[in-house]
Amino acid sequence: MQMRTFEAINMKEAIKAIKSELGNDAVILSTKDKAIKGSDAKGVEVTAVAASSQKNTQRSNSGESFAGMQFYNQQISALDQKINSLLEKIPSKQSLSSIDSNISNLNLLLNNYLKMEKMPLPDDAPEGVIEVYKQLSLMGIEEAYLTKLLQHLLGLPLPKSDSKSDDYYKTHAMRWMMRRISIAPPIHFQDNPTQVVHAFIGKSSSGKTSSICKLANIIATKQRDSLVIASIDSSKLGGNELLRVYAKLLSIKYKEFNSVDEFIEDSLLANHRGIILLDTPSHISSGDSLTDALLNLKSSNILIDFHLCLSTTEKQIHMDKSVGQFSPLGIKTLVFTKIDEAWSFGELFNIPQKWSLPISHFSFGQNIPEDFEDATRERVLSRIFNI
């Protein structure tokens, strides 16, 4: 086999040269554009092989096969490069799973939206129903839930006495909502002798660090020795000062890490039995997204629960975004913070409903450890109904 590479100003010229050198049976193996030396114009480079060339019979067999091998090696390494560059473009398993979960988020929200059959308040609705409707509407309860509640209230038998109509409908509305509020067991209830990491996640200033200090105080009363506070938040200079000082005050072990990987590889994790409260950053500076970095925690063998802190001073759309952002991690519970600064409490009902997530705790002030409590259905209702 004789293989040769030809350079010419165009394909026609190249074929002419091939035919004259390798004969009419020559087979073209590859073509590519090539700059012509000393000019801006582009020419072609064609590699061809003589099919049954008489001219080449003098060539030694070993020389031919060497040239052939060289050619195929070049082709294979070019293919290799192409495959590698394609592989680089294929999204990682993690980003696929995050896309997957974002699609399910969208699906969920779309379904939620489609299910909303908005029902106008009928003119002849009882006074008590109108009162409840107005109050809940003012509190920001979503239209979809208001409509369902309205259908429920309007389906009730009329109250026996008109003077008690307000209370009658309010009590029924509260019962209806009570059945739908999902509360998680408080984090400090878990007397698990094995190691569990409770990671607090959320947007910047959502109350992660403060909640950890408050919770550590409760857990320390029962399990001081098996409690550890750790932080992988190295985003701010001195950002962990509160945790460090508070851990010292409570005589609890404290350790900080520069990254998720550092935490996973640390001996603390391998040897500790008991609860680790883990503080996380609201963003990271490396190329990975925060959720991707935290996903590494999940894929390691650590038993980890993620608790999402949501500041009630935020608008609901921002809370929804926060849940959406962190949902690939599998959020275990919601911690509503800054309840003392909120104007309306509809989100305490809307967000857990919409995302099917239970609430574990409320934080209602800056005082550590006082302003923190276990979530209860009654607390949610008392905030919403202002009682």
Ligand X SMILES: Nc1nc2c(ncn2[C@@H]2O[C@H](COP(=O)(O)OP(=O)(O)OP(=O)(O)O)[C@@H](O)[C@H]2O)c(=O)[nH]1
Beta-carbon count within 10 A of 96 CB: 11
Whether the Cβ atoms of residue 350 and residue 141 lie closer than 8 Å to each other: yes
Q: Shortest distance, CB of residue 208 to Mg ion, whole angstroms?
A: 5
**341 contacts which partner out of Mg ion, ligand X, none, CB within 5 to 8 A by kind?**
ligand X
Q: Shortest distance, CB of residue 329 to ligand X, whole angstroms?
A: 16
Nearest in space to 358 (alpha carbons), one of 380, 338, 339: 380
Between CA 335 and CA 312 the distance in angstroms is 10
| Residue whose CB is less far from Mg ion, 209 or 311 | 209
For residue 279, list its beta bridge partners. Answer: 200, 231
**282 contacts which partner out of Mg ion, ligand X, none, CB within 5 to 8 A by kind?**
ligand X
The answer to the question of residue 316 lying near ligand X (CB under 6 A) is: no
Exactly one of 170, 188, 208, 383 binds ligand X (CB under 6 A); that residue is 208
The answer to the question of residue 206 lying near ligand X (CB under 6 A) is: yes
Q: Shortest distance, CB of residue 204 to ligand X, whole angstroms?
A: 4
Contact residues for 143 (Cβ-Cβ < 8 A; gap 6+): 116, 118
**337 contacts which partner out of Mg ion, ligand X, none, CB within 5 to 8 A by kind?**
ligand X
* Piece in contact with ligand X (CB under 6 A), picked from 46-54, 162-170, 183-191, 333-341: 333-341
Residues 28-57 close enough to bind ligand X by CB under 6 A: none
| Residue whose CB is less far from ligand X, 205 or 344 | 205
- The tokens of 100 are what? 């997957």
Q: Shortest distance, CB of residue 226 to ligand X, whole angstroms?
A: 24
Exactly one of 207, 328, 346, 352 binds ligand X (CB under 6 A); that residue is 207
* Piece in contact with Mg ion (CB under 5 A), picked from 13-21, 130-138, 202-210, 269-277: 202-210
Exactly one of 364, 379, 381, 384 binds ligand X (CB under 6 A); that residue is 364
The answer to the question of residue 338 lying near ligand X (CB under 6 A) is: yes
Q: Shortest distance, CB of residue 321 to Mg ion, whole angstroms?
A: 19
| Residue whose CB is less far from ligand X, 174 or 215 | 215
Whether the Cβ atoms of residue 246 and residue 200 lie closer than 8 Å to each other: no
| DSSP state string for 285-315 | SSSS-HHHHHHHHHHTT--EEEEEEEETTS-
Q: How far apart are the first and last CA of the chain?
A: 94
The answer to the question of residue 325 lying near ligand X (CB under 6 A) is: no
Between CA 174 and CA 163 the distance in angstroms is 19
Whether the Cβ atoms of residue 207 and residue 335 lie closer than 8 Å to each other: yes
Contact residues for 150 (Cβ-Cβ < 8 A; gap 6+): 119, 121, 125, 129, 133
3 state SS of 373: strand
- The tokens of 335 are what? 């911690």
**168 contacts which partner out of Mg ion, ligand X, none, CB within 5 to 8 A by kind?**
none
The answer to the question of residue 350 lying near Mg ion (CB under 5 A) is: no
Between CA 79 and CA 242 the distance in angstroms is 56
| Residue whose CB is less far from ligand X, 366 or 386 | 366
The answer to the question of residue 346 lying near ligand X (CB under 6 A) is: no
**Secondary structure in 3-state letters for 214-256:** HHHHHHHHHHCCCEEEEECCCCCCCCCHHHHHHHHHCCCEEEE
Query: For residue 120, is the peptide bond before it cis, meaning its omega torsion is within 30 degrees of 0?
Result: no
The answer to the question of residue 360 lying near Mg ion (CB under 5 A) is: no
3 state SS of 271: helix
3 state SS of 5: strand
Q: Shortest distance, CB of residue 207 to ligand X, whole angstroms?
A: 4
The answer to the question of residue 170 lying near ligand X (CB under 6 A) is: no
Nearest in space to 228 (alpha carbons), one of 196, 281, 275, 194: 275
The answer to the question of residue 209 lying near Mg ion (CB under 5 A) is: yes
**329 contacts which partner out of Mg ion, ligand X, none, CB within 5 to 8 A by kind?**
none
The answer to the question of residue 365 lying near ligand X (CB under 6 A) is: yes
The answer to the question of residue 363 lying near Mg ion (CB under 5 A) is: no
The answer to the question of residue 74 lying near ligand X (CB under 6 A) is: no
The binding site for ligand X (CB under 6 A) comprises: 202, 204-210, 233, 239, 282, 309, 337-338, 340-341, 363-366, 371
Write out the residues near Mg ion by the rule CB under 5 A.
Answer: 208-209
